[in-house]
Amino acid sequence: AQSVTQLGSHVSVSEGALVLLRCNYSSSVPPYLFWYVQYPNQGLQLLLKYTSAATLVKGINGFEAEFKKSETSFHLTKPSAHMSDAAEYFCAVSEAGGTSYGKLTFGQGTILTVHP
């Protein structure tokens, strides 16, 4: 069974500082990995995804994530935080094949706060 663990339910950074949101996954087969962002009172929006091409994935709004198979990690980073990055971020895993392809398993989410 696949699972996702996001380390830290709350992360606080200063504007201009590095953003690092941690995600570790468990999957019995090579996974597909996603990061979604949720702004207040909105649905989830895709930031980026890994689908077994390049291990360093670039997404929207300056975010990127690196797939590290040896560490079973898919951490999300942004070099310089902006106030508009304040939101909740979800890591998710999907398995290929079988009947449940396309089904996502989400982590518990990390709330990012950005201070002026």
Partner 1 sequence: DARVTQTPRDKVTEMGQEVTMRCQPILGHNTVFWYRQTMMQGLELLAYFRNRAPLDDSGMPKDRFSAEMPDATLATLKIQPSEPRDSAVYFCASGLAHSGGETQYFGPGTRLLVL
Could you list the residues that contact partner 1 (CB under 8 A)? Answer: 32, 34, 36, 42-46, 49, 51-52, 90, 94-97, 99-104, 106, 108-109
Q: Report in angstroms how near the CB of residue 35 gets to partner 1 at its nearest.
A: 11
Residue among 61 and 100 whose Cβ is closer to partner 1: 100
Residue among 2 and 15 whose Cβ is closer to partner 1: 2
Q: Report in angstroms how near the CB of residue 74 gets to partner 1 at its nearest.
A: 13
Cα 56 versus chain centre, distance: 13
Q: Report in angstroms how near the CB of residue 16 gets to partner 1 at its nearest.
A: 30
Q: How far apart are CA 93 and CA 62, in angstroms?
A: 21
Q: Report in angstroms how near the CB of residue 92 gets to partner 1 at its nearest.
A: 9
Residue among 85 and 95 whose Cβ is closer to partner 1: 95
Spatial contact of 48 and 34, defined as CB atoms under 8 Å apart: yes
Q: How far apart are CA 8 and CA 96, in angstroms?
A: 28
